[in-house]
Amino acid sequence: MASKLSVRKSPSAEILPQKPWVQSTHGVTLDVRLTPRGGRDAIEGVERRANGHSVFKARVRAAPFEGQANAALCRLIAHELGLAPRQVEIAAGESARVKRLHIAGDPRMLDVMLERLSKGGAKGSA
């Protein structure tokens, strides 16, 4: 006689949502979904995409013309993290809605700052 084993999942065994950033040796890589011509410059939290990846949601007033929206996004992220704009650059997705940014700095400090920003602790809209 074969007995059936029931497997119970403990709450700690559930998969936690992944962060939309990854630490590297010289900073962090951050995934962002950008809405250009969004009426205001703001970070709107974290979104889980259909493929399971998480991204920061951001909107900027600038139009997606000649890199204006990308530049506005870099300035917004830098402002919200209290960094110099030169520390934030587009690493991939210049013409796509979902972009990958590289943020230069101490990875541990940036991780803490991004965690706070993802929980709604932004400095305020630009």
Is the residue at 32 inside a domain?
yes
Is the residue at 59 inside a domain?
yes
Number of helices (H) and strands (E), helices first, in the chain?
2, 6
Residue 126 has pLDDT above 50, yes or no: no
Q: What is the 3-state secondary structure (H, E, C) of 20-56?
A: CEEEECCEEEEEEEEECCCCCCEEEEEEECCCCCEEE
Is the residue at 13 inside a domain?
no
Is the residue at 92 inside a domain?
yes
Number of domains in the chain: 1
Is the residue at 19 inside a domain?
no
For position 55, what pLDDT does the model report?
93
Domain of residue 62: give its range: 26-118
Q: Model's pTM, two decimal places?
A: 0.80
Provide the CATH number for the domain around residue 84: 3.30.1200.10
pLDDT band at 50 (very low <50, low <70, confident <90, very high): confident
Is the residue at 123 inside a domain?
no
Is the residue at 11 inside a domain?
no
Q: pLDDT of 58-86, one tens digit each?
A: 999 999 999 999 999 999 999 999 999 99
Q: Which of 92, 76, 80 is nearest to 30 (CA)?
A: 92
Is the residue at 18 inside a domain?
no
